[in-house]
Amino acid sequence: MSPFEALQLPNGQVIANRIAKAAMEENMADTDQAPSRELKQLYTAWADGLPGLLLTGNVMIDRRAMTGPGGVVLEDEQHLDRFREWADVARNKDVHFWVQLSHPGRQTPANLRQQALAPSAVALDLGGFSRMFAKPKAMTEADIEEVIQRFAISARLVEKAGFTGVQIHGAHGYLLSQFLSPLSNQRTDRWGGPLENRARLLLEVVQAVRDSVSPAFCVAVKLNSADFQCGGFDETDARAVVEMLNTLPIDLLELSGGSYEAPAMQGEARDGRTLAREAYFLEFASEIAAIATMPVMVTGGIRRLPVVQQVLDSGIAMAGIATALTLEPQLIQHWRQGRDPNPQLKPTSWKRKPLAALATLAVVRDQMRRLSRERLPNPKAAPWLALACDQWFLARRTRQYRASVKL
């Protein structure tokens, strides 16, 4: 099939083409943790490139549980007008615009001074960087039920704001992914132990979200193909979870992989496996597409049209593109015109892998900030300079965040 062929989803909605702008964490909220003018401009640039689907970065369901100080939060109607303005950037362009709903769990920065919640009191293992994250507390039944309701409430608000769907983030080591992994979930109650128990929270969140929105509103899930850690959530687990998700009304399943401890979404594995330079998770995704009852999307390193075609030819419904669109927001339009540029960043090959991962993320954020100011990207940005600037920016936003919530 052609990358520019429409995709009909299980709920009847139609996505105009098979290419999605995948989620990246922008950290561009205003001081109310609502969408800023810069964030809207960034998504205007991406919407002008006419992907079939725009996916936001993390939108938090609880301002007490943040992945970063500049994160967007949607937990009530207080700033819903700003979310409506954000949704409007895609309204007249035949582009679906979905909000990624997330809870960080133990991947909560320590300097935000929040109480991190997790399935079990198991801290992140990042060597000397572990202290950057808050020590987690094992969640109570009440905490778990509150999280389920918060996902549902946020989804209902997303629909009210005029977006066309939500994606429930169950990957990359965030809370729902933590429940799935036997490394981070050491519970002995109905939320831990065998996989059916570890998957219970994800399934209940999906059902609660589906029940809170209209049938025409799209509900998607992002799932790890694996954690890429020995003894963690693996590909066999992922297949079993997909079979469980098959019983629920889901419109799209995105497959990715990794976590803060093993950032496979950046092309690095911690269990010794070597990942391909493009379409990191393609082989497994094609296997999942054969058993999934919903369309499957794969994300991870894709930046060229022939690779998009390879993804689709393998039986996968959509290809998600992230970093490449920060370097060339009009990439999809170039493809339509018969050009095939290859936008990419130079790898950050520092010996300290967590620091290299932070530097890579900082360079990507630098590109997003440039686009948000209507400036051209700079793929040759120095990782050390981008990291220093990013850390300064995050420190300033952290002070603002702590003042706003009186921490």
Which residue, chain included where needed, has tokens 């952290």?
Answer: 398
Residue 52: name the closest of 321, 283, 285, 304 by CA.
Answer: 321
Beta pairing class for 7-8 and 19-21: unpaired
Q: For the chain, how big is the Rg over CA atoms in Å? A: 19
Rounded to an integer, what distance in angstroms lies between the CA atom of residue 391 and that of residue 385? Answer: 10
Q: What is the model's pLDDT at position 273?
A: 38
Q: List CB contacts of 302: < 8 A, sequence separation 6 or more.
A: 278, 279, 308, 311, 319, 320, 321, 324
Give the residue-averaged pLDDT of 105-126: 93
Q: What is the model's pLDDT at position 260?
A: 60
Does residue 258 carry a pLDDT above 80? no
Rounded to an integer, what distance in angstroms lies between the CA atom of residue 215 and that of residue 210? Answer: 8
| pLDDT tens-place string over residues 74-91 | 999 999 999 999 999 998
The sign of the dihedral angle between the CA atoms of 388, 393, 398, 399 is positive
Q: Quick one: pLDDT band at residue 270, thresholds 50, 70, 90?
A: very low
Q: Cα–Cα–Cα angle for 165, 279, 45, nearest 5°?
A: 50
Q: Which of the four CATH numbers 2.40.160.50, 3.30.470.20, 3.30.420.40, 3.20.20.70 does domain 7-345 have?
A: 3.20.20.70
Helices (H) and strands (E) in the chain, counts: 13, 13
Residue 1: name the closest of 308, 207, 300, 211 by CA.
Answer: 308
Q: Quick one: pLDDT band at residue 268, thresholds 50, 70, 90?
A: very low
What distances in angstroms separate CA 322 from CA 31, 344, 373, 398, one per listed residue?
26, 11, 19, 26
Rounded to an integer, what distance in angstroms lies between the CA atom of residue 192 and that of residue 120? Answer: 9
Tokens of 354: 């967590």
CB-based burial label for 187 (10 Å; 0-12, 13-18, 19+)? middle
Q: What is the model's pLDDT at position 127?
A: 77
Q: What is the model's pLDDT at position 233?
A: 82
- 30 near 268, Cβ under 8 Å? no
- 105 near 174, Cβ under 8 Å? yes
Give the residue-averaged pLDDT of 130-155: 96
Average pLDDT, the chain: 91
CB-based burial label for 76 (10 Å; 0-12, 13-18, 19+)? exposed
Please state the pTM of the whole predicted model. 0.92
User: DSSP characters for 367-395?
Assistant: HHHHHHTT----TT--HHHHHHHHHHHHH
User: DSSP characters for 222-262?
Assistant: EEES---STTSS-HHHHHHHHHHHTTS--SEEEEE---SSS
Lowest mean pLDDT among 55-59, 253-257, 361-365, 387-391: 253-257
Q: What are the domain boundaries of the chain?
A: 7-345
Q: Quick one: pLDDT band at residue 118, thresholds 50, 70, 90?
A: very high
Q: Quick one: pLDDT band at residue 210, thresholds 50, 70, 90?
A: very high
Give the rounded distance of the alpha carbon of 257 from its chain centre.
11
- 121 near 78, Cβ under 8 Å? no
| pLDDT tens-place string over residues 320-346 | 999 999 999 999 999 999 998 889 888
Q: What is the model's pLDDT at position 269?
A: 40
Tokens of 283: 């082989």
Does residue 283 carry a pLDDT above 60? yes
